[in-house]
């Protein structure tokens, strides 16, 4: 739990941290259960060899995963290694089961997803 002091008020936010692993030679992570929380950021490790991340979603863990679109098309992020990327919007807010999709992956990488 993170506490922020704002004058005489204290706010508390729960943050859920989940790992998405993309294996060497693969482009998709395993299934991530968002627990109904909103994706607030990602932490890209130093060994990540891709440059873009996109998302797939399904309404069930055993269902068919399809690319996630917004009004502009497929949601894809340009990412840099060894960085934290925070989102100001409620990215993927209503999606329960997701996967990350990389354009390429030369070594095993664990990307941390931050939900709140």
pLDDT tens-digit map of 88-105: 778 788 899 999 999 988
Return the structure tokens found at 2: 């993170």
- The pLDDT of 70-81, averaged and rounded, is 90
Exposure string of 82-116, with b = 16+ CB inside 10 Å and e = fewer, is eeeeeeeeebbeebbbbbbbbeebeeebebebbbe
Residue indicated by tokens 């807010």? 93
Topology of domain 17-115 in CATH is: Jelly Rolls (2.60.120)
User: Where are the domains positioned within the chain?
Assistant: 17-115
Among 47, 46, 38, smallest CA distance to 18 is for 38
Residues 12-47: pLDDT tens digits? 566 788 999 999 999 999 999 998 888 999 999 998
* pLDDT score of 113: 93
């Amino acid at each position: 739990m993170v506490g922020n002091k704002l004058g005489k008020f204290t706010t508390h936010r729960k943050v859920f941290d989940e790992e998405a692993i993309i294996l060497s030679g693969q482009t998709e992570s395993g299934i991530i259960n968002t627990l109904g929380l909103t994706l607030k950021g990602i932490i890209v490790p130093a060994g990540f060899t891709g440059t873009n991340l996109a998302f797939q979603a399904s309404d069930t863990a055993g269902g068919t995963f399809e690319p996630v679109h917004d009004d502009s098309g497929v949601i894809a992020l340009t990412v840099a290694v060894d960085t934290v990327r925070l989102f100001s919007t409620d990215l993927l807010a209503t999606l329960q089961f997701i996967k990350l999709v990389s354009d390429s992956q030369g070594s095993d990488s664990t990307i941390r997803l931050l939900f709140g």
